[in-house]
Structure formats: C-alpha cells, structure tokens
C-alpha cells in the first residue's frame, strides 16, 4: 500500500459507505485512479461491497483487516533479519581469511561510489566521520538524503572541512541547521583527501584523476591496520581543527540578539575575509566592518589581533 491507498482507506473509515464518485472527490483522485485503488483495497480485504448497494463500499475494521497484513510483514522482517545474521556470519568468516591485498576493495565509477557512500551511511549505527574538500565533489548536501536519515535515527556526524569550503553559498546556514541534529563541523586550512568512515567498520576514500575534479572511483578499506591508520589520521586532524561554532553553553557575555557578532568573530578567526564572512551571514561588507568596529570598542582594543585574543579570553567564541 502506498500513501494514496492509505488515504482512501482512512477516508472510508470515517464514512458509513461511499461510491466511486464520492471516493474520487474526497481523495482528490481521478475516477480511474480511485477505481484502481478500490480494487486493490478490496483484494487486500480492507473494504467490502455493501450488500444492499453493490456500487458502494464500506471499510473493514482495522483490527480485523490489518492484523493479517501486519503479521505477514512481521514474518518477512523476521526472516530477513535471520538471513542478515547468517550472511554477516558468512562475511566475517570470509574476511577473517583475507590476505593483505584483500583489505581494500576498488570501487569503479562515480555512480558506484555514490551508491556505496549511501550504503555506508544507511548502515551506520553510531557515527560517520567525514573529510570535506573544496574542489573534489562527490554528492551535494541536498542530494545526500542518507545523511538526513542517519541524523534522524541518532547517528552522530563529525565533519572536518577545508577552510575554502566555508565560501560555498549557504554552507554556514546548513551547518547551523544540522548541528542540533548531531552534526559537528570543524575546519582546517587543508585536508589530504576526501574521506568517509562509517562506525569502526569501513572507510571510503574517493579517488580522482590528476587534474580532474570529478570522482572516478574509490578505495573501500576494511578493518585492518590500514583502517586503523586512516582512523588515526582523522582523529589527529579532528583534535587540531577549530570548531566552526562553539557550543551555546560555552559562550559568555554576549546577549542573544548579538549572536550574529559571535558568528562573525568565529568566521573571521577561521581566516575568512570580511566579504566572505558577510556573504555567509547575509551581511553587507559595510555592516560587517561596522560590527567589527563596535566589537573593538566593546573589547577596548584597537587592532583585530587584540580583538581575537580578547574574544577568546572573554569566551565570546
């Protein structure tokens, strides 16, 4: 059953009975579409023809009609889970026998890399760790629906982005939206490669041809000393990287309506220009410079270097 079937069934639950025209009108469907859905619902036993008027249908009680369907779904889900456990055992036995060259799988083609990235995020249970490069694009944020799904089920994302990534339009707003869901972003001037790590299970390193910014394949690294090295590389970078935004509980002395100043200071401390920081925050260059002048006065300093030091000392950022 899809959403249309569910909507029609819900509609009929609230009516004593209905004919085809009433169903089509009530569900905003064409007569042909409504007829097809009614046939499907009748085949599933969710509706029945009225004995006194065969052109009218009535909804079957959910407790009677839906229970067999739910039991069948539960049986299939149980069978699928048993198959998953069995296949996982077979896979573990196979990986235990891997030789050194077998700890890496080569994924060929951009489409296959995107598919594997989606699978890694969909299978993650605890955490996804990511390196984001300025130029080498794999999948855009809006297209990465598996990230949204993972965050919604409680998977944590730790992301390190190159500083130049902050120049992307809307990047800061996206980070601000995702942080409450469990995604933390830090920044470094440069990163060595694009990287995805799912839990402690797999690492994916997208590859590209020299001089070409498009992804041509990837290396999928299984648990091994090499995988441990990749994890160590991420954790070392994470410890050196600066947070894009501080936790709200760590910030002091700024009123709620001055949060824009806090974000401005943070972006400037990360090395962004006045114009770039203003673009991310929706401010004109003149407004940025006026706010900086106000912060200099408030901190009672005369240079931006002093302002940065005072902002850190006073926990403004």
Query: Within this chain, do residues 106 and 238 fall inside the same structural domain, yes or no?
Result: yes
pLDDT top residue among 95 and 12: 12
pLDDT top residue among 263 and 99: 263
pLDDT classification of 215: cutoffs 50, 70, 90: confident
What is residue 94's predicted lDDT score, i.e. its pLDDT? 63
Query: Within this chain, do residues 114 and 233 fall inside the same structural domain, yes or no?
Result: yes
Query: Within this chain, do residues 15 and 113 fall inside the same structural domain, yes or no?
Result: no
In this prediction, residues 287-292 reach a mean pLDDT of: 86
In a domain, residue 257? The reply is yes
In a domain, residue 68? The reply is no
pLDDT classification of 127: cutoffs 50, 70, 90: very high
What is residue 154's predicted lDDT score, i.e. its pLDDT? 92
In a domain, residue 126? The reply is yes
- Cβ proximity of 230 and 197 under 8 Å: yes
Nearest to 201 by CA among 238, 230, 158, 240: 230
In this prediction, residues 278-283 reach a mean pLDDT of: 84
Task: State the Cα–Cα distance between residues 127 and 182, nearest whole angstrom.
Answer: 10
- Cβ proximity of 187 and 159 under 8 Å: no
Q: What does the pLDDT look like over 233-259, one tens digit per residue? A: 999 999 988 888 765 444 444 454 577
In a domain, residue 81? The reply is no
Query: Within this chain, do residues 268 and 225 fall inside the same structural domain, yes or no?
Result: no
In this prediction, residues 116-140 reach a mean pLDDT of: 83
What is residue 36's predicted lDDT score, i.e. its pLDDT? 92
Q: What does the pLDDT look like over 46-63, one tens digit per residue? A: 888 877 777 888 888 877
Task: State the Cα–Cα distance between residues 284 and 71, nearest whole angstrom.
Answer: 60
pLDDT classification of 2: cutoffs 50, 70, 90: confident
In a domain, residue 70? The reply is no
Query: Within this chain, do residues 212 and 226 fall inside the same structural domain, yes or no?
Result: yes
Domains: count for the chain: 3
What is residue 126's predicted lDDT score, i.e. its pLDDT? 92
Cα 298-242-246 angle, rounded to 5 deg:
55
- CATH number of the domain encompassing residue 43: 1.10.10.10
pLDDT reading at 203 higher than 50: yes
Query: Within this chain, do residues 32 and 159 fall inside the same structural domain, yes or no?
Result: no
Among the three residues 220, 243, 266, which one is the final residue of a domain in this structure?
Answer: 243
In a domain, residue 165? The reply is yes
Query: Within this chain, do residues 164 and 257 fall inside the same structural domain, yes or no?
Result: no
Query: Within this chain, do residues 259 and 197 fall inside the same structural domain, yes or no?
Result: no
What is residue 97's predicted lDDT score, i.e. its pLDDT? 58
What is residue 139's predicted lDDT score, i.e. its pLDDT? 65
- What average pLDDT does the structure give for the chain? 81
Q: Among 86-90, 170-174, 312-316, which is the least confidently predicted range?
A: 86-90
pLDDT top residue among 91 and 181: 181
Find the domain containing 200 and state its range.
Answer: 102-243
Query: Within this chain, do residues 297 and 209 fall inside the same structural domain, yes or no?
Result: no
Q: What are phi and psi of 27, to 5 degrees?
A: -100, 5
How large a percentage of the chain has pLDDT more than 70? Answer: 85
What is the distance in angstroms between the CA of the first residue and the CA of the last residue of the chain?
51
What is residue 250's predicted lDDT score, i.e. its pLDDT? 47
Q: Among 47-56, 207-216, 267-276, which is the least confidently predicted range?
A: 207-216
pLDDT reading at 209 higher than 80: no
Task: State the Cα–Cα distance between residues 23 and 262, nearest whole angstrom.
Answer: 56
| pTM of the full structure | 0.59
Task: State the Cα–Cα distance between residues 268 and 261, nearest whole angstrom.
Answer: 10
pLDDT reading at 155 higher than 70: yes
In a domain, residue 96? The reply is no
Query: Within this chain, do residues 175 and 208 fall inside the same structural domain, yes or no?
Result: yes
Task: State the Cα–Cα distance between residues 314 and 317, nearest whole angstrom.
Answer: 8
Query: Within this chain, do residues 117 and 223 fall inside the same structural domain, yes or no?
Result: yes
Query: Within this chain, do residues 255 and 223 fall inside the same structural domain, yes or no?
Result: no
């Amino acid at each position: 059953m899809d959403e249309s079937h569910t909507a029609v069934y819900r509609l009929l639950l609230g009516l004593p009975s209905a004919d085809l025209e009433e169903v089509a009108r009530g569900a905003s469907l064409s007569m042909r579409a409504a007829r097809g859905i009614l046939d499907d619902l009748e085949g599933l036993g969710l509706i029945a023809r009225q004995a006194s008027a065969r052109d009218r249908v009535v909804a079957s009680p959910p407790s009677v009609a839906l229970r067999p369907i739910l039991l069948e779904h539960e049986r299939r889900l149980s069978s699928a889970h048993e198959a998953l456990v069995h296949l996982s055992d077979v896979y573990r036995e196979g990986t235990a026998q891997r030789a050194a060259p077998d700890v890496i799988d080569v994924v060929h083609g951009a489409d296959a890399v995107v598919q594997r990235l989606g699978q890694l995020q969909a299978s993650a249970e605890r955490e996804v760790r990511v390196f984001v490069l300025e130029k080498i694009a794999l999948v855009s944020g809006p297209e990465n629906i598996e990230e949204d799904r993972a965050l919604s089920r409680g998977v944590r994302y730790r992301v390190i982005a190159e500083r130049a990534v902050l120049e992307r339009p809307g990047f800061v707003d996206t980070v601000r939206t995702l942080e409450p869901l469990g995604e933390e972003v830090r920044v470094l001037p440069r990163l060595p490669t694009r990287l995805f790590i799912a839990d402690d299970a797999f690492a994916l390193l997208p590859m590209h041809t020299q001089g070409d910014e498009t992804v041509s394949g990837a290396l999928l690294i299984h648990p091994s000393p090499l995988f441990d090295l990749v994890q160590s590389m991420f954790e070392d970078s994470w410890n050196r990287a600066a947070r894009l935004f501080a936790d709200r509980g760590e910030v002091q002395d700024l009123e709620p309506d001055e949060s824009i100043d806090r974000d401005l200071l943070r972006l400037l401390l990360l090395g962004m220009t006045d114009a770039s920081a203003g673009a991310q925050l929706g401010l004109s260059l003149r407004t940025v410079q006026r706010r900086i002048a106000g912060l200099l006065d408030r901190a009672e300093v005369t240079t931006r270097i002093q302002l940065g030091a005072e902002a850190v000392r006073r926990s403004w950022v």
